[in-house]
Amino acid sequence: MLAGEAAADAFLEHEMTVLRSRIRAHDLEPENWRSATGIVTSNTFLTADEAARVRDEIMAIVERYRHRLTDPERRPEGSREVRLFTALTAAPEKRAGRNR
């Protein structure tokens, strides 16, 4: 388990490094890219099945464009590599009588 945690920490640290770098450069981007990109965050209440569906729906959207990674001829003019980092996590369960 410790090796898995270390690997996850290294992965997250890499993702945060990339994210920080791109966020710092955000204001240098043309307006169309500034308005099309950014950080999105949201909280809600889901069941485990609903959370799985949300994850699957996000991945289905990404899959529609994945072929462009390996086939440059299918990339539209003006396209750039875009990184999507998604984390779907569950808050720890609350003890009975606590709803917050």
37-50 pLDDT, tens digit per residue, is 999 999 999 999 99
pTM of the model: 0.77
Question: How distant, in Å, are the alpha carbons of 47, 53, 58 from that of 50?
Answer: 5, 5, 12
CA pair distance 78, 75, nearest whole angstrom: 8
CA pair distance 100, 19, nearest whole angstrom: 30
Residue the block writes with tokens 């920080």: 20
Residue 22 has pLDDT above 60, yes or no: yes
Domain ranges of the chain: 1-30, 44-86
Give, as one character, the DSSP assignment of residue 81: -
For 48, left (φ over 0), alpha (ψ -120 to 50), or beta? alpha
Residue 97 has pLDDT above 70, yes or no: no
